[in-house]
Amino acid sequence: MSVEEQVIENARQGKLLTHKCADCRYLHLSTAYYCRQCGSEDFEDVLVDGKGTVATYTIITVAPAGFEKYTPYAFVIMKLDGVDLRISGFMEGIATPDDLPVGTPAKITGFDERGILIQRQ
């Protein structure tokens, strides 16, 4: 399975595939190819729980071609609990900032053509 397929499979189970540096243990997203801290290219796959809090987001009211059926939705940056990582994903049904206060607990719930899907916990 490719890294992307593993990311999709794990997202469907509410998990996030990450890369932990085999040398200094620094944790990265699975898109990392070398360690940001020590430069090593040696990683171990580590699954972390896809739960966290909403750090910031952008509401998409004018979607790219082919994605109109999803509007309104939000492109969300979520800070994961317990690790120093942020991921981006998409949350349905967000039309105004009142719909989603920053700090709202959220979790990974799946994956579609847009990318990782996030919902409130």
Residues 6+ apart with CB under 8 A from 19: 27, 28, 29, 30, 32, 43, 44, 45, 46
Applying CB under 5 A, the span of 14-22, 68-76, 88-96, 113-121 interacting with Zn ion comes to 14-22
Contact by Cβ (8 Å): 88, 76: yes
Strand partners, 120: 106
Query: Which residue among 6, 15, 23, 99 contacts Zn ion (CB under 5 A)?
Result: 23
Q: Decide whether 55 or 83 has the Cβ nearer to Zn ion.
A: 83
| d(C-alpha 51, C-alpha 58), whole Å | 19
Q: Decide whether 23 or 49 has the Cβ nearer to Zn ion.
A: 23
Contact by Cβ (8 Å): 106, 119: yes
The yes or no reply on residue 24 touching Zn ion (CB under 5 A) is yes
The yes or no reply on residue 54 touching Zn ion (CB under 5 A) is no
Q: How far is the CB of 36 from Zn ion (least distance, A)?
A: 8
Query: Would you tell me which residues interact with Zn ion (CB under 5 A)?
Result: 21, 23-24, 26, 35, 37-38, 40
